[in-house]
Structure 1
Amino acid sequence: MIETTAGETRPPGAEPALFRWRWAALAVILLGEIMDMLDSLVTTIAAPTIRGDLGGSAATIQWLAAGYTLAMAIGLLTGGRLGDLYGRKRMFLIGAAGFTLGSLLCGVAVSPGMLVGARVLQGLAGAMMIPQGLGMMRRMFAPDEMTRAFSAFGPVMGLSSVAGPVLAGWLIDADLFGTGWRMIFLINLPLGVAAVVLGLFFLPPGHDGHGSRLDLVGALLAALGAGLIVYPLVQGRELDWPAWMFVMMAGSGVVFTVFARHELRRQRRGGDPLITPSLFTKRGFSSGLAVGLVFFAGMIGFSLTYSLYLQIGLGYSPLKAGLSQIPWSAGTVLGFPVAMAMQKHGRTALQAGAIVMAAGVAGLVLTLQLAGVGVSPWQLAPALVVTGFGMGLLMAPFFDIVLAAVEPHETGSAGGTLSAIQQLGAALGAAVLGTVFFGLLGGHVATASDRDAPALRTSLASAGIAASEQDRITAGLRACGHDRATAKDQAKNPASCVRLESDVRTAAGAHPQSAGKIVQVVQASGLHSAKTGFGAAMKITLGIVAGLLLLTFLIAFLLPPRAREDDGTATA
């Protein structure tokens, strides 16, 4: 007798009965996807508020994103295999429960370290939960129903991408029950409990019947190699790039070389490697990994730094920052159906998406250049729509094209590896572009202060301030702006800012009739210099993002022209 998806038995040769609760089970799977999607987006909006409450350095902001995605990247390499070994329903429920626990720990975190650790737990649990959905869907649905089932993912992912930043901003501003930013994590508790309870009743039991031993050594090597490259990229700037940081990055290459040899040796001995080595003999797949790494690094790095610019640079509230990103999400939703209509063009559609997205990013640079520090969300919206539209064009055909040359028996390993590279790219994007952005701030704020100095001197002179005092205040404002932008601990007022405050008080005390004006012009000049410096850093960061998108376009020439044809053969 043979087990069916419902956990029953049937005679050999009989058609398997479709799982009775398959549509309810799909809803549970989508609930898990929603939790993951929301939590991968919310910290880009909440990070400045979290840092203001818990303290920590600029690296804390980067780790909130990179810790989650790095943990998920490593976990995805084994998440699907765990489902093969112990049952997909069981691992989905354990992953959902772990994700809920991680969300609770995030919500009650009392230090940056505890919060980042809880984010890592969320990422590992998500990597255990998410891969099980595809395996269960393949067992639950007949081939003619699979298209309908998969079609539910597009709207759900699109809605989540729109709702994530807006929901995070609203929850922070609403400060429900005095929880502030904590509610962005605590809201997962009812969702997680629902996923576990409903999953117990509606997810299909049973095993796929092809489990094998875990490659724990391979998993540890992959985790070590990824950690050795991401950690220095996040922490290097704040530790002044000691030599051992570069040793760590070089060590990452050595570890990945050992990992590759281990995987080959394990396959030759008849074991089941973490990643099927034969995948890397296929140019299309290897190139697809490079495309995914570069593209997702640029996309996530852009998302993080742009949110920081809106809130810290322009002073937007979390809700306003979230609402300001709706045009980007809306453009992405619009791009997906256009990409589906262009499906026969395959790689061309993907490359068109990269070019359109790069044009949108260039449009943002132009908007910031023309509008200056007074730029409004409405002025940013057109370029954001174009950026999102390009992203939709690129992402829709990406996975199908990359997997075009993969053999059926390699699909599981290929899908897990591609998803892991996507998350690793996200972690690298948060690390690299976050480091670039914060590294540029101090110098550009100081340069902006120099440019604003003549106007400040004129205003101070009109208030009766002597030339020597003008020199002291302008020099102090420059130093304060630079030190505040580069401060490792935002909760601590830099010594230069303390001196500036003292100098301004002294000048105001000596000219009581102009005291209010003196304070006002110094504050206005400092704010203008800070916004200008943030804008300059953002424009350079956007230039790097555009460069990564153009690199994505070029690497994509190595991909197969289009996805696998219906007859199951790969396109040459």
Structure 2
Amino acid sequence: MPDRQPAGSEPGDIRRWQALGVGLVATFMTLLDVSIVNVAVPSMDEALGASPSDLQWVLSGYALTFGLVLVSAGRLGDARGRRTAFVVGVALFTLTSALAGLARSPGWLVAARLMQGAAAGLVNPQVTGLVQQLFRGSERGRAFGLLGATIGVSTAVGPLLGGLLIHLGGAEHGWRWVFFVNVPVGVVAVVLGWRLLPARPAGQPDRHRLDPVGVLLLGAGVLLLLLPLVQREQWHSPWKWALIPAGLLVLVAFGLWERRYARQQTPLFDLRLFTLRSYTLGAVIALVYFGGFTAIFFVFTLYLQNGLGYSALVAGLAITPFALGSALASALGGRLVNRFGRPLVGIGLLVVVVGLAAVVLVLRGSPAGSVPLLTAVPLLLAGLGSGLVITPNQTLTLAQVPVPQAGSAAGMLQTGQRIGSAAGIAAVGSLFFSSLASSGGQWSAAFRHSLLLAGGIIALALVAAVVDIVLNLDRRR
């Protein structure tokens, strides 16, 4: 049963945009915590005496539990009401952020981060589902434009904000403010979310079951895929890679179960969505693009801080041009996507590849001058391209999805993004460290090599976009 529209939901109704604003704040907060913690690792290590394994779990555990619950959370919102799922998710995220900031031991911090990631996974599909529910036509493109800008900025600005908080709070306690900053924002989001988001109609029975077998199969499959990727540095046994084919087999079992379950009940995820070419190719583009996109910030932060000795604040500032370009182009892309369609995504991907190639060129050899300054313009260009990818692709991917399935469809799309991010960081990070070792500690060379791989991954997403463009042209003839 889809949520009802709020009263007065005609075009221009201010309440819908206010509800979207609350959702965007929550999205920014939850996605920020994917990257903001990276620059706080040295402070956490010093304050808590954490082992490398503990620190790896602090970083990767959040992404792991985030990815595990996305589809189930989206289905929950579709079936039981997005307002309730959103408010509960934000409340849990706020509480677990406070617990993380109060941590007195590495185990405490790891547990808080795992719960924080699950809460973030509960929140995010509700926001995308609300956009599908509350907006139509060009307004939906504008709303997705704002959401895309939020995603792009939150991903890129995390190191900057983290560095600033640590600088203000000091090396000993600054890392705690990385978590505490979520608390006042979260409290306000809970209050406004309950007030502004539309509720499910009262008195109407909910015939949607939540498909517990599907939940378990999907969760197990995603866990088996993500675990060896997020623990690649700390889990040294080669047997960890055997979990990936095992995960794929479990996901096949999930697909077979969902097909059978759909004959009598509403499944966790309706596999018929994959018969929509816009959804299938859009999901592939998102998975592959995020594999290259998020890996860039991972290796760039390592290069600047560990290789060149820049502070966390300067490292964050160096990524700001990308964030600014992404924010500007995302808002523009949301307005243009209905006019240009998938070619706009293809142009964006091409611009990202060109921007990354320009970064490689300016850093060739031993760069003379400040690396953050040398890379500012190429990263701004790449950010502009990224803004034309994330928002338009999400709009096109979900365009034909029925509103009652918007949450689970968005959850599956975001699950692919989380898997792509983990796989991309694993691949690009491995090349970075192996190149660093083989070159005798040449950080610039290692960064250039890893950036070329990230650009190559993004080029694969460009191929998928071109396939969709060609198929659309053939259909029109």
TM range (shorter): 0.7 to 0.9
Question: 1:546–1:121: structure 2 CA closer, same or farther, 3 Å change rule?
Answer: same
> Are 2:446 and 1:537 equivalent residues in the alignment?
yes
Specify every segment of 5 or more residues in structure 1 that has no aligned partner in the other structure, as ranges. Answer: 8-14, 448-529, 564-569
Q: What do residues 278-302 of structure 1 show as CA deviations (whole Å, max 9, x unaligned)?
A: 2233444333222211110111111
Quote the offset at 1:322 in angstroms.
1.0
AA aligned to 2:73 is G
Pair member with larger Rg: 1
Distance 1:538 1:144 in 2: 41
> Are 2:339 and 1:344 equivalent residues in the alignment?
yes
The one of 100, 117, 122 equivalent to 1:123 is 117
> Are 2:240 and 1:245 equivalent residues in the alignment?
yes
Identify which range, 413-422 or 376-385, moves more after superposition.
413-422
Task: Identify the residue that residue 437 of structure 1 maps to in structure 2.
Answer: 432
Question: 1:16–1:323: structure 2 CA closer, same or farther, 3 Å change rule?
Answer: closer
Quote the offset at 1:407 in angstroms.
5.8
Distance 1:247 1:149 in 2: 41
Task: Identify the residue that residue 292 of structure 2 maps to in structure 1.
Answer: 298
Contact 2:71 2:410 in 1 (8 A): no
Question: TM-score by structure 1 length?
Answer: 0.72
Task: Identify the residue that residue 400 of structure 1 maps to in structure 2.
Answer: 395
AA aligned to 2:381 is V
> Are 2:265 and 1:271 equivalent residues in the alignment?
yes
Quote the offset at 1:239 in angstroms.
4.1
The one of 168, 175, 181 equivalent to 2:175 is 181
> Are 2:477 and 1:546 equivalent residues in the alignment?
no
Distance 2:233 2:192 in 1: 46
> Are 2:349 and 1:354 equivalent residues in the alignment?
yes
Contact 1:285 1:559 in 2 (8 A): no
Distance 2:412 2:241 in 1: 27
Quote the offset at 1:161 in angstroms.
5.3
Distance 1:54 1:256 in 2: 38
> Are 2:4 and 1:95 equivalent residues in the alignment?
no
Question: 1:338–1:546: structure 2 CA closer, same or farther, 3 Å change rule?
Answer: same
Specify every segment of 5 or more residues in structure 2 that has no aligned partner in the other structure, as ranges. Answer: none
Distance 2:284 2:476 in 1: 20
Distance 1:342 1:328 in 2: 21
Distance 2:295 2:43 in 1: 19
Partner SS, residue 96 of structure 1: helix
Contact 2:295 2:421 in 1 (8 A): yes
Higher relative contact order (CA closer than 8 Å, sequence separation 6+): 2
Quote the offset at 1:110 in angstroms.
3.9
Quote the offset at 1:376 in angstroms.
2.6
Partner SS, residue 369 of structure 1: coil
Partner SS, residue 97 of structure 1: helix
Task: Identify the residue that residue 460 of structure 1 maps to in structure 2.
Answer: none
Quote the offset at 1:194 in angstroms.
1.6
Contact 1:140 1:204 in 2 (8 A): no
Distance 2:292 2:307 in 1: 20
- 1:184-195 map, 5 Å: 184-195=178-189
Q: What do residues 356-391 of structure 1 show as CA deviations (whole Å, max 9, x unaligned)?
A: 211211222222224438543111112111211121
Contact 2:93 2:120 in 1 (8 A): yes
Partner SS, residue 36 of structure 2: helix
Question: 1:202–1:409: structure 2 CA closer, same or farther, 3 Å change rule?
Answer: closer
- 1:137-176 map, 5 Å: 153=147, 156=150, 160=154, 163-175=157-169
| Cα RMSD for the two superposed structures | 3.5
Task: Identify the residue that residue 228 of structure 2 maps to in structure 1.
Answer: 232
Contact 2:4 2:198 in 1 (8 A): no
Distance 2:353 2:14 in 1: 46
Identify which range, 86-95 or 148-157, moves more after superposition.
148-157
Contact 1:215 1:274 in 2 (8 A): yes
Q: What do residues 188-218 of structure 1 show as CA deviations (whole Å, max 9, x unaligned)?
A: 1111122223334444433485651112222
Identify which range, 130-139 or 33-42, moves more after superposition.
130-139
Quote the offset at 1:430 in angstroms.
3.1
Partner SS, residue 131 of structure 1: helix
Quote the offset at 1:350 in angstroms.
1.3
The one of 191, 211, 218 equivalent to 2:214 is 218
> Are 2:377 and 1:382 equivalent residues in the alignment?
yes
Distance 1:337 1:30 in 2: 13
Partner SS, residue 367 of structure 2: helix
Distance 2:222 2:404 in 1: 27
Question: 1:54–1:342: structure 2 CA closer, same or farther, 3 Å change rule?
Answer: same
Task: Identify the residue that residue 505 of structure 1 maps to in structure 2.
Answer: none
AA aligned to 1:97 is A
Task: Identify the residue that residue 259 of structure 1 maps to in structure 2.
Answer: 254
The one of 66, 75, 79 equivalent to 1:81 is 75
AA aligned to 1:35 is M
Question: 1:393–1:63: structure 2 CA closer, same or farther, 3 Å change rule?
Answer: farther
> Are 2:466 and 1:557 equivalent residues in the alignment?
yes
Identify which range, 204-213 or 383-392, moves more after superposition.
204-213
Quote the offset at 1:45 in angstroms.
3.2
Question: 1:355–1:249: structure 2 CA closer, same or farther, 3 Å change rule?
Answer: same
Partner SS, residue 364 of structure 2: helix
Contact 2:44 2:50 in 1 (8 A): no
AA aligned to 1:388 is G
Distance 2:58 2:355 in 1: 27
Question: 1:350–1:205: structure 2 CA closer, same or farther, 3 Å change rule?
Answer: closer
> Are 2:386 and 1:391 equivalent residues in the alignment?
yes
Identity over aligned pairs, percent: 36
Quote the offset at 1:254 in angstroms.
1.6
Question: 1:561–1:215: structure 2 CA closer, same or farther, 3 Å change rule?
Answer: farther
AA aligned to 1:391 is S
Partner SS, residue 305 of structure 1: helix
Distance 1:336 1:328 in 2: 12
> Are 2:241 and 1:332 equivalent residues in the alignment?
no
